[in-house]
Chains A and B, each alone.
Chain A
Amino acid sequence: MLQFDFMRYAFIAGIFISLICGVMGTFVVARQTSFFTHTLSEIGFSGAAFGIFLGISPLLGMIIFTMASALFIGISGDRLSRRETSISLFSGIFIGLGILFLSLSSKQSSYATNILFGSIVGINIGNLYSLVALSLLILIVIALLFRQLAYNSFDVTGSQYNQHLNLLTSIVFLGLLALTISVTSQIIGSLLIFVLLTIPASSAKFYTASLWKMIFLSTIFSLVGIWAGLYFSYITNWPVTFFITMIEALIYGSALIRHQLQVSKFSFKN
């Protein structure tokens, strides 16, 4: 299987995608903004369609749309992004706009399905380089702002009063999230990036209460899903996205069951 270039690229891409999803995902889950992450990937789809419509690069369209939304949400407050109505409203508006832009442009919708579902086995060496560059950029920014981000994400109220430049930290984080979604959904699709940004980190928090272990476990859960998914996809010829999503769901399910068993054992003792 590894004699094929595209499989090697996919396995390498898996490492970097797991790294950013492990780190970003831990913060996404702490901030309880999973659904905003979902909305952001739909906004990305709309932005790509807008890019095609204008004749500029779809990636640029995506970055413009997702960054603008991140800035808007950052300034108007995280609370807005957790409100159910605003989530449904934004999702609806942006999917609608995306469809409009696609139909106005002469291009066919194959590109749209690519953005939504992507294909990790379809990537070339150029995609791989841009993914590696982006991952390093995100990881470096996070390393520099780690303490700011951790306080801001895990203690919204406390950091609001006691942290210098706290609002700016939120905006930078949302900007990084927009960038992550824009670039990775070109490669693996916005559906999969949403799963990888939320499920592994949600599973990890059932196993550990330490921040670093959470990041480590989320990364491992992503990597296991991607690598095993690639392998199963190779031997069955079924879509790799299907396998990755199912494996992540299994990891989450078993973490949840284990957690429930522990909780009932604990309350029984008391």
Chain B
Amino acid sequence: MNSMMEVRNLDIQVPGKQLFKNLSFTIPANKLTCMTGENGVGKTTLVKHILQSFKTKDDRIIINTTRAKTQYVPQLRNIDDEFPLSIHDFVGLGLRQSNLLWHTKSEKKLLQDIIKKTHLATIENYPLGAASGGEKQRAFLAQALCAEPNLLILDESTASLDTSTKNELLTLIRSLLAEQDITVLFITHDPELIEKYADYELHLSHLQAELIRKERKE
């Protein structure tokens, strides 16, 4: 099994609480791993710690990619109804292959491909503020894909979605895993989604983590 990330003997404390002690786990490469655990167990803190480790050069966390190729899709964004930018332009904010004032030809093509892949093509010129919850999550995902990531971390992306929209999003993520070299770490509370879509579950509890292999029922 190839790994995208190896964590060895990590301790994390927050003021007044030990979150993890001697934490060790592996995130398999090119798989969908769902991170689960009770509220307050420290899922988001752990993810932030992982993101920080690129900078702090923490040798207890080994990640087989660069920071630029790691994209974190946060749970909440301040996008209100009045948000002015179109879905096309919002997604395009993630393009960083060059630093020019305009998008290069290859960037334009990449952007169009991603918009198509995430089923946003018919609504790309509408303001993001007017989009539905599922459309917004697809746009957040699409923006992250613009960086052509190897590791994608999704923080409760389905939390506010209804059942059919949740399934659409996860089907989309599965198709990405089939098509490109990408590893997805998905923080979720939803047992039904884990049963249906996850390759692995990383369950956090009692200062430790356990990686459980899942048989997907498709």
Binding site for B on A (CB under 8 A): 29-30, 143-144, 146-148, 150-151, 154-159, 161-162, 164, 205, 209-211, 214
Binding site for A on B (CB under 8 A): 51, 67-68, 71-74, 76-78, 84-86, 88-90, 93-96, 99-101, 125-128, 140, 143-144, 147
How far does the Cβ of A210 sit from chain B's closest Cβ, in whole Å? Answer: 6
Closest residue of B by beta carbon distance from A151: B93
Known contacts: A162-B72, A209-B126. The answer to whether A154 contacts B67 by CB under 8 A is: no
CA distance A268 to B90 in the complex (A): 28
How far does the Cβ of B75 sit from chain A's closest Cβ, in whole Å? Answer: 9
What B residues does A143 contact at CB under 8 A?
101
Please tell me if the beta carbons of B93 and A155 are within 8 angstroms of each other in the complex: yes
CA distance A161 to B74 in the complex (A): 8
Please tell me if the beta carbons of A157 and B84 are within 8 angstroms of each other in the complex: no
Closest residue of A by beta carbon distance from B125: A209
CA distance A157 to B126 in the complex (A): 21
Please tell me if the beta carbons of B93 and A150 are within 8 angstroms of each other in the complex: yes
Please tell me if the beta carbons of A164 and B93 are within 8 angstroms of each other in the complex: no
CA distance A195 to B67 in the complex (A): 41
What B residues does A156 contact at CB under 8 A?
77-78
CA distance A213 to B98 in the complex (A): 22
CA distance A88 to B76 in the complex (A): 29
- List, sorted by A's number, 27 A–B pairs whose CB atoms are closer than 8 Å: A30-B84, A147-B93, A147-B95, A147-B96, A147-B100, A148-B99, A150-B93, A151-B93, A154-B89, A155-B77, A156-B78, A157-B74, A157-B76, A158-B74, A158-B93, A161-B72, A162-B71, A162-B94, A162-B144, A209-B84, A209-B85, A209-B127, A209-B128, A210-B85, A210-B89, A210-B125, A211-B89
Please tell me if the beta carbons of A214 and B94 are within 8 angstroms of each other in the complex: no
Q: When the two chains form the complex, which single residue of B84, B125, B147 contacts A162, counting CB atoms closer than 8 Å?
A: B147
What A residues does B144 contact at CB under 8 A?
162
How far does the Cβ of B125 sit from chain A's closest Cβ, in whole Å? Answer: 7
How far does the Cβ of A162 sit from chain B's closest Cβ, in whole Å? Answer: 6
A-B pairs, 8 with minimum CB distance = A209-B86, A205-B84, A209-B127, A161-B72, A157-B77, A151-B93, A211-B89, A146-B101
CA distance A211 to B77 in the complex (A): 19
CA distance A86 to B85 in the complex (A): 28
CA distance A162 to B101 in the complex (A): 19
Q: Known A-B contacts: A158-B143, A210-B86. Give 11 more (CB < 8 A).
A: A144-B99, A154-B90, A155-B143, A157-B74, A158-B73, A158-B77, A158-B140, A205-B84, A210-B88, A210-B89, A210-B125
Q: When the two chains form the complex, which single residue of B84, B90, B100, B140 contacts A214, counting CB atoms closer than 8 Å?
A: B84
